[in-house]
């Protein structure tokens, strides 16, 4: 895939990133915006949950280790929401520590994918596209267009 096409791959997709480390959050936000995604950002699970219900993002990227509400608790609360409130959005787990047991636990808990920091930007885009395509959409941005 050529660079211009790959740059536009996420055009118009609404992505929520929840990460308590502001530098990491900002780096992910800037990269996704460069790829033409619309990005919502939160530094805490509760704030992220509010954004899910209000904006219904196509995909959620959540750090697993956050104070007050970790990524597992966030996922549980998201799944309690009705689909029209964003309860069916795929959630990608993000962690600073790779551990095969943690990966297994995250996927069994219902995370769509498991990524480790530091984030590889191309892998992030690939994983976002995979979770959306597995949801029955041929292009990530079709989710919003058909809602």
- Whether the bond into 118 is cis, omega within 30 of 0: yes
Q: Which residues contact 77 (CB under 8 A, 6 or more apart)?
A: 45, 49, 69
pLDDT confidence of residue 123 = 93
86: left (phi over 0), alpha (psi -120 to 50) or beta: left
3-state secondary structure (DSSP) of residue 30: helix
pLDDT confidence of residue 7 = 66
Calpha distance 106→102 (Å, rounded): 6
Q: Which residues contact 103 (CB under 8 A, 6 or more apart)?
A: 114
Q: Pick the more confident residue, 9 or 113.
A: 113
What does the pLDDT look like over 108-121, one tens digit per residue?
999 999 999 999 99
pLDDT(1) > 50 = no
Neighbouring CB atoms inside 10 A of 118's CB total 8
pLDDT confidence of residue 9 = 79
Instruction: Write phi, then psi, for 121 (nearest 5 degrees).
Output: -55, -45
What does the pLDDT look like over 86-145, one tens digit per residue?
999 999 999 988 789 999 999 999 999 999 999 999 999 999 988 988 765 555 454 444
3-131: CATH number? 3.40.50.2300
What does the pLDDT look like over 26-70, one tens digit per residue?
999 999 999 999 999 999 999 999 999 999 999 999 999 998 999
């Amino acid at each position: 895939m050529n660079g211009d096409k790959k740059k536009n791959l996420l055009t118009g997709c609404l992505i929520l990133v929840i990460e308590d480390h502001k530098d990491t959050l900002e780096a992910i936000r800037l990269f996704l915006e460069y790829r033409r995604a619309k990005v919502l950002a939160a530094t805490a699970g509760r704030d992220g949950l509010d954004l899910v219900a209000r904006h219904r993002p196509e995909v959620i990227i959540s750090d697993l280790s956050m104070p007050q509400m970790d990524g597992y608790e966030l996922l549980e609360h998201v799944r309690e929401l009705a689909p029209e409130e964003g309860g069916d959005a795929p959630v990608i787990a993000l962690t600073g520590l790779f551990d095969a047991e943690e990966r297994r636990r995250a996927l069994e808990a219902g995370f769509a994918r498991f990524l480790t920091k530091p984030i590889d930007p191309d892998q992030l885009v690939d994983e976002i596209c995979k979770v959306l395509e597995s949801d029955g959409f041929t292009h990530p941005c079709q989710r919003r267009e058909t809602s």
